[in-house]
């Protein structure tokens, strides 16, 4: 499996606390069946002011530590970017790392606020699409606006967005309502990727295997392969060349 959303670079967001914590989480992911991973620190202006340079510098450090600890996992980095008009100049200045690209189309892991879909969201998404950037919306099933009115995801889909479901949403980690909506979106074919959004060992571990089995049960194994391997591979393969 390939995990393209997790927070395992230590000390730069609300994920891994330090190097030892990060290495424990990376071992956990490998033991659970993850072969390739893209770590995606938060880029949330005013809270986590990460840039491409900061992220890549820290990526090199954790890769060196992994090598010393014999952790066999292909690792690359991008960012989970909170939606904000201020990201436009950062994109223009090439300060934001993309998840990769398919046929020249860049993919950006884009996070909505948990509480709502903000006004002007459609305008920013249209601007991104116009720049050859496809937004991959992180965990839409956990957004309260979408939980209340699931059809709102269709508006984002019509604009050209792709969608990444959190693995633990499918297995009940975020409650029954979130699990039921996740199952609905899966069955409707709305979801493009499942990823862990791993942050820590106890509450939000970087695990995919149980969710993979759940997708096999709810839909079929071919869909599980598409969501956990093929689509993540296609989106991120340029990061591993």
Retrieve residue 141's tokens.
């099933």
Retrieve residue 56's tokens.
């890549």
- Find the mean pLDDT for residues 160-185: 98
Q: How far apart are CA 217 and CA 213, in angstroms?
A: 6
What's phi and psi for 195, nearest 5 deg? -140, 165
**Does the pLDDT at position 241 exceed 90?**
no
Cα 179 to chain centroid distance, Å, stands at: 18
Domain at 2-240: CATH code: 3.20.20.140
The percentage of the chain sitting over the pLDDT mark of 90, rounded to a whole number, equals 98
- Find the mean pLDDT for residues 195-199: 98
Q: Where are the alpha helices (DSSP H) in 166-220?
A: 167-170, 176-187, 209-218
Condensed to tens digits (0 to 9), the pLDDT of residues 27-69 reads: 999 999 999 999 999 999 889 999 999 999 999 999 999 999 9
Provide the pLDDT for residue 190: 98
Condensed to tens digits (0 to 9), the pLDDT of residues 111-162 reads: 999 999 999 999 999 999 999 999 999 999 999 999 999 999 999 999 999 9
Provide the pLDDT for residue 94: 94
Exposure b/e, 4-43, CB count within 10 A at least 16 = b: bbbbbbbebbebbeebebbbebbbbbbebebebbbbbbbb
The structure's pTM equals 0.97
């Amino acid at each position: 499996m390939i995990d393209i959303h997790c927070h395992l670079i230590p000390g730069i967001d609300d994920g891994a606390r330090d190097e030892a914590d990060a290495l424990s989480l990376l071992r956990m992911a490998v033991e659970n069946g993850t072969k390739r991973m893209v770590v995606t620190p938060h880029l949330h202006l005013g809270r986590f002011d990460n840039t491409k340079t900061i992220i890549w510098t820290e990526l090199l450090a954790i890769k060196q530590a992994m090598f010393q600890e014999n952790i066999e996992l292909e690792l690359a980095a991008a960012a989970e970017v909170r939606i904000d008009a201020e990201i436009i100049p950062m994109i223009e200045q090439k300060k934001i790392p993309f998840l990769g690209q398919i046929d020249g189309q860049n993919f950006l892991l884009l996070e909505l606020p948990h509480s709502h879909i903000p006004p002007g969201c459609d305008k920013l998404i249209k601007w991104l699409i116009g720049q050859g950037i496809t937004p991959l919306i992180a965990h839409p099933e956990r957004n309260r606006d979408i939980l209340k009115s699931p059809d709102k995801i269709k508006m984002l889909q019509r604009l050209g967005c792709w969608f990444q479901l959190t693995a633990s949403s499918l297995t009940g980690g975020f409650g029954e309502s979130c699990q039921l909506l996740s199952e609905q979106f899966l069955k409707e074919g709305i979801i493009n990727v499942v990823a862990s959004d791993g942050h820590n060992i106890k509450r939000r571990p970087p695990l995919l295997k149980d969710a993979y089995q759940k997708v096999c049960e709810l839909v079929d194994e071919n869909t599980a392969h598409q969501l956990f391997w093929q689509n993540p591979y296609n989106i991120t393969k340029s990061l591993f060349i």
